[in-house]
Amino acid sequence: MRFPMKNRALILTLLLGTLLAGSALQARAREVININRNWRFFSNSHTSDNATMVNLPHTWNRDALGGHNDYYRGIGNYIKDIKVPAEWRGKRVFIRFGAAGDVANLAVNGRHVGEHRGGFTGFTFELTPYLRFGETNSIWVIVNNSPQMDVLPTAGDHNVYGGLYRDVELIVTEQSVIRASEGGIRLVQKAVSSERAAVDAVIRIDGQRDRNLLVNLAVTTPRRDTIFFQASRFRVPASGIGTVTIPIELESPTLWNGVENPYLYNVIVKVTDQNVTCDSLAVPLGLRYFSVDPKTGFALNGRPLQLHGVFYYEDRASVGPALTEYQIREDLDYMVEMGVNAVRTSPGPHSQEFYDECDRRGLIVWSDLPFVGPSYLTDRGYIGTESFRANGVQQLREMISQYYNHPSIAMWGLFSNQSMRGDDPTSYIKELNTVAREEDPTRMTVGASNQDGQMNFITKLVVWDHIFGWKEGLPSDISVWLKQLQANWSNLNSGLSYGAGASIYHQDDSLYRPDYLGNWHPERWQSYLHEQYYSFAKNAPFLWGVFIANMFDYGAAGREWGDGTGVDDRGLVTFDRKYRKDAFYFYKANWNPDEPFVYIAERRWDRRVKRTQTLKVYSNAPEVEMLLNGVSLGKRSGVNGVFTWENVTMAEGMNDLEARSDSGIDHTRIEIAEDKIHHGIN
């Protein structure tokens, strides 16, 4: 059912309004009920009599957040009693978990419903056969985060949290429904340009056999104007499960164009059975296309775009991975402020709310499978058993199915820093790559690597994870490596990642590479390393993306170095999100030209020995003036957002610094305590 373009919008709006109004007097076809509140929780060493009341999202591993490497890894029980209305009799009831770390078993009224293995993807069970309608029903979830050698990840230094750390919902529907779990509607972008878009809407129906259903599909703009409508008949097969494909054609579409214009259409699908609404569902549609060339890098909608990315762990002090929607938005606010346009999900897929926000903000996402390589000598990232391989494939298929429609996702990550310690993972990476291409030929695959080997030639993209200036060598060594990359491996689509640890409490007069395994990680070295890497990477257009490790500090209870608090301190923002480290402002100066600012760097190094100092400012302004104790030291032009005043003689005692530019003003105070320190009074 198509109309001439000049009349189509008006006719479709009226038609869709009539269709929706026809069901307005009926009960809602799909009811989604959040059940996060009031769960009883107890560990396996207790009984339900000792249960405490918790709200979701929840993790029991606050002991890991305290930096204890022996944090509890075992079984936790969640029980909730729910009154199921008698009016639901004749309907179907599902329960959807956003995630459970790592293995979850569900029992309803004492009967086992099912098991899910893997802590980063969601899962859905149908409860209908297990419920007693008109009565109170018991839901019992047994969650296990103990180490299991056939559930990914089996290695890595990140905390493996236990719990129901994402939302849990009940879904109540009629008998014939669009698949209740994510993936019920798959929008396959076959051909996209600024002139035309061709998309197949593949809709999975789960319903009563032999019923003749009407499937209506409409595409609306953000202003709710209907620009496309199509209807299709579908007869439910004997198996009860089938798919119907509705082609969508749009002329002169507005493209989803990253942070510049993250334009989202809305696709509304409604299923009716003899004029009775069975189900309805809406999903976003962002039309875009991308490519990568080994010489010119990444392109979005045909235009070059170097990706300024970060690694992001959904993990923060006091809550672990049990982030609320507000906290996810707050984390992304930090990224947008810094000028980030790309994000890698570490160590595995994140919540739907995270991807929704990336869609709305125009961030490019690298969504990762938790196939993580070894961080310690005792780790084995790959264990070549049949059950291990099957679990990785299961989690990969779930990730692609559940997050397929998010326009922000440009690539599926298949592995991270695998090594030859133990079984050779090369053939398995090939298997994963084949599965990913079969499930989604529209996107690229990517792997993160820190060593040579055939594994680097399997995925479409590779990101080299470097440690120059942190674990060995100097930051400037990256320039030699980049020349070697171009000379020997210019055919690879290469990206770069790097980072260094820093504590805001560690300030040092000397600038040197610290021992990364030691307990002294000075903030100045982190800033210096990032300044050096950036200066070389920005002149390498063949790098399709640069990813900083990490955006935030994250929990790694096995780490005894740095502050010794079980935190990976390579973040540009502290674990509690209270403090932006200096390197954050360096990237803001280079990646975010739209938010003028000036920032006096090394401000936490506020008690110094020598009177002669070099003063540093980060800013995106063309020129900055520095004042010392009210006296101008002159104006400077910056290089890569860095402004310096060398050989500045400061007064003994307290000194006032003020940086001025058209972007604003910043103040700080520095104490020169030369005499006191020399006399051992510091």
How far apart are the C-alpha atoms of 234 and 241, rounded to whole Å? 11
Per residue in 24-75, pLDDT (tens digit) is 323 458 999 999 999 999 998 778 788 999 999 999 998 998 777 899 999 9
pLDDT, tens digit, for every residue of 159-185? 999 999 999 999 999 999 999 877 899
Closest by Cα among 106, 114, 103, 116 to 160:
103
Give the CA distances from residue 116 to residues 49, 142, 546, in Å, rounded to whole numbers and listed in that order. 27, 11, 35
Q: Residue 182: which region, alpha, beta or left (left: phi > 0; alpha: psi -120 to 50)?
A: beta
Residue 332 φ/ψ, nearest 5 degrees: -70, -30
Segment among 110-114, 147-151, 181-185 with least mean pLDDT: 181-185
User: pLDDT tens digit string along 294-315?
Assistant: 999 999 999 999 999 999 999 9
Structural contact between residues 372 and 160, judged by C-beta atoms closer than 8 angstroms: no
Q: Which of 70, 274, 85, 56 is nearest to 167 (CA)?
A: 56
Structure tokens at 595: 């938010």
Kindly state the helix (H) or strand (E) to which residue 78 belongs, with its residue range: strand 75-83
Integer CA distances (angstroms), 430 to 177, 398, 415, 424, in order: 36, 18, 11, 12
Note the pLDDT tens digit of each residue in 503-546.
999 999 999 999 999 999 999 999 999 999 999 999 999 999 99
Instruction: Give the model's pLDDT for residue 122.
Output: 97
Instruction: Report the pLDDT averaged over residues 218-231.
Output: 97
For helices 582-591 and 325-338, give the axis angle rounded to 10 degrees: 60
Quote the distance between the C-alpha of residue 441 and its chain's center: 21
* More confident: 263 or 377: 263
**153 vs 182, residue with greater confidence:** 153
Q: What's the confidence (pLDDT) of residue 50?
A: 87
Q: Is the pLDDT of residue 11 over 60?
A: no
| Averaged pLDDT, 173-198 | 94
299: left (phi over 0), alpha (psi -120 to 50) or beta: beta
pLDDT at position 20 is 39
How far is 248 from 188, CA to CA, in rounded Å? 10
Q: What is the pTM of this model?
A: 0.93
Query: What is the share, in percent, of the chain residues with pLDDT greater than 90?
Result: 86
**Torsion of Cα atoms, 233 then 235 then 239 then 244, to 10°:** -10
Give the distance, in angstroms, between the CA of residue 186 and the centroid of all CA atoms in the same chain. Answer: 21
CA-nearest of 658, 654, 682, 681 to 670 is 654
> Does residue 14 carry a pLDDT above 80?
no
pLDDT digits (tens, 9 = 90+) for 538-553: 999 999 999 999 999 9
Q: How far apart are CA 197 and CA 301, in angstroms?
A: 12
